[in-house]
Amino acid sequence: MSRRKMKLRRQRFQMTRRNMIGLFLAFLFLAPLAWSLLVSFKTSAESRKPPLPPWPTTGFSTQSYQNLSDFGSGIWTYTGNSLTVSLATVVLSVVVSLLAGYGFSRFHFPCKNALFVLIIATIMIPFQSVLTPLFVILSKLGLQNTLTGIVCVYVTLQMPFSIFMMRNAFDAVPKEIEDAARVDGASVIKVLYRIMLPLVLPGVATVAIFAFLASWNEFLAALILLTDQQKYTLPVLMVAVREGQYGTIDWGAVQAGVTLMMVPCLVVFLLLQRYYIRGLTAGAVK
């Protein structure tokens, strides 16, 4: 056998091995999602049985989705609450971190580095340890049991990471581009939104993805700060809807809720994944 044929065979073997490993890893990640989707189409009685096989054995049923829709104020009310909170958190996180990241990257002011380190250091504080002070503050401000108060809490929790990401994104942009725009007479705000913003879109997308996923899936703050059932978000609804008759758990309704909750997360990530990887590596190489 010639040396060229041996090389081609070796390359094919390596490619096949990589593909098999990729398929195996994809199966590990997709299997739980597929399992939740299949269980959501079981009847309430069948969903309480042993999990194997995962697909419905008595035929596909939308009973779990109907139970979820009929609970409380209706699934669309809670979905609207989650979307409102998540989108507001994304918008505020992006705007505030964009301005703060630009300021920390391009401007010089007293104690700049110390202030930046102080902001980043708040990541080390567990959220659960400040939940009681947050509850008291929101109560004094009249924001307890409101979606606005939840948004304020989520934006505050997202700020350290978001500012860190945006500062790195701006540091990766050469200052000569900004200087050229200022020579042409552009103001600071115009430079930021017309010149710099298109260049740091990967960082903006990364901040948006993390803010959306964190606020969409957050449970503890919403559970403690919201007392009106009509204002519940989807994670809180999942805890309330899982209790069936006589203390049983309606696993079908739970998996139906999980299926509905993961759809927006998948859509957001798939739409912004192109910028997500670039955003995480922004500023890594000068």
Least Cα distance to 241 among 232, 233, 250, 229 occurs for: 250
What end-to-end distance do the CA atoms of the chain give, in Å? 48
Q: Nearest 10 degrees: CA dihedral of 213, 217, 220, 225?
A: 80
Q: pLDDT by residue (tens digit) across 162-196?
A: 998 888 888 888 888 777 877 777 777 888 888 88
Q: Are 139 and 146 in contact (CB under 8 A)?
A: no
Q: Are 82 and 239 in contact (CB under 8 A)?
A: no
Q: Are 178 and 113 in contact (CB under 8 A)?
A: no
Q: pLDDT by residue (tens digit) across 56-102?
A: 767 777 777 877 777 777 788 888 889 999 999 999 999 999 998 88
Sign of CA dihedral 168, 172, 173, 176: positive
Judged by phi (left if over 0) then psi (alpha if -120 to 50, else beta), residue 250 lies in: beta
Q: Are 233 and 78 in contact (CB under 8 A)?
A: yes
- Cα angle 238, 243, 244 (rounded to 5 degrees) comes to 130
Count the alpha carbons within 13 Å of 91 in the hemisphere toward its beta carbon: 7
> Whole-prediction pTM value?
0.81
Distance CA 214, CA 162 (A): 12
Q: pLDDT by residue (tens digit) across 193-250?
A: 888 888 888 888 888 888 998 899 888 888 888 888 888 888 888 877 766 555 566 7
With cut-offs at 50, 70 and 90, classify the pLDDT of residue 48.
low
Distance CA 68, CA 91 (A): 29
Distance CA 198, CA 44 (A): 50
